[in-house]
Amino acid sequence: MAAATQVQALQRSTDLWFPNANLILRAENTLFRVLSDILAARSSVFRDMVTFPQPDEETEVLEGCPVVCIHDSAAEAEVFLKAVFDSSFFMPPPSKVEFNTVIGVLRLAHKYDVEYLCRRALEHLDSLYPVSFDTFRTAYDYPNYSVNYLDVVDINLIVLRVASEIGALWLLPAAYYCICSYPVEEIVASGQAWSSLIPQMQHKCLAAVPQLIRTTARAHGFLLTLQSAERRGLCYSLELCEDAISDAQKILLDWSDYNRDDERTELDPLGHGLFSYMELDEELCGVCSEFAKTEHLAVQNDFWDRLPELFGLPTWETLIALREEALGRG
């Protein structure tokens, strides 16, 4: 009776309290009353949990229902159970969904072996952290996600931790990169999101920053070859192009000098980066602009190919194979 009285003092979920259901789950201070048959049909872990015999004296009971404690946050339990019991709540991409919902469903669907929900959550993240550079260049705008109070650094750190925990390694290169492209003080100031990473992952993030600085500068090396003899012969606006290139070279040198001693600048060698900032598209003639884009893209593709190695991960070939298997596309 004392146990039942204690349970009654807890908060009942508004959306997940079905009066005719036969099982109550407790996550932190929240109670969820659900149908055990449906839960067991979706999850092998819950099937074993609800059928395993428990001594009567150790079983908490409320309104005739056994109360099973699950060691998860109430917020994640809420979105996971909604995804299980409401087929319209967590739809596959390109449907819009809150980022916290994706992470909550992913963690608990993996933990409780609900394969279809785990795959659906991975598909949402896969659209943001792709294995193809062509896709990555256009994907990272969060088009289908409401991120609430979380900033982008927090999101990347959370994805890095959770994807690592569940073995979704193909998400890690893009997640690592997106973290490292932000100023170092913003990364380490992310509080709980940063401190939740294991030390080895923190070290990988910080150790990669100098590499991104070098690659950002190298990705603009075309500025040094743009005025070669053969290019000068093809340029049809030589004076204007030379002025634009001279200005861009100065920007690049100033940027490089600044980053030798200070790593606060955002680093994005795989994005438009300094190339966009210099507005070379508008300043150069068509021939020189096309040459610059081609040279810039070649360095970016080379860096993308080496991205997993930079963070101590398997090759893209291995990561892509893991992705295909996890998403049922193998």
pLDDT tens across 147-174, in order?
444 578 889 999 999 999 999 999 999 9
Residue 267 has pLDDT above 70, yes or no: no
What's the pLDDT score for residue 18? 94
Which residues neighbour 307 within 8 Å (Cβ) at sequence distance 6 or greater? 173, 174, 176, 177
Instruction: Report pLDDT digits (tens) over 181-197.
Output: 887 888 888 778 899 99
Instruction: Report pLDDT digits (tens) over 78-117.
Output: 999 999 999 899 999 889 899 999 999 999 999 999 999 9
Residue 16 has pLDDT above 90, yes or no: yes
* CB-CB contact of 14 with 33 (8 Å): no
**192 & 145 share domain:** yes
**119 & 180 share domain:** yes
Tokens of 274: 């300094």
What's the pLDDT score for residue 228? 59
What's the pLDDT score for residue 169? 97
Parent domain of 165: 97-208
- 84 is a domain residue: no
**198 & 106 share domain:** yes
Residue 214 has pLDDT above 90, yes or no: no
Query: Which of 166, 183, 208 is at the close of a domain?
Result: 208
Going by pLDDT thresholds of 50, 70 and 90, the confidence category of residue 57 is low
Structural domain total, the chain: 3
- 80 is a domain residue: no
What is the rounded distance in angstroms from the CA atom of residue 261 to the CA atom of residue 175? Answer: 26
Query: Which of 42, 74, 106 is at the close of a domain?
Result: 74
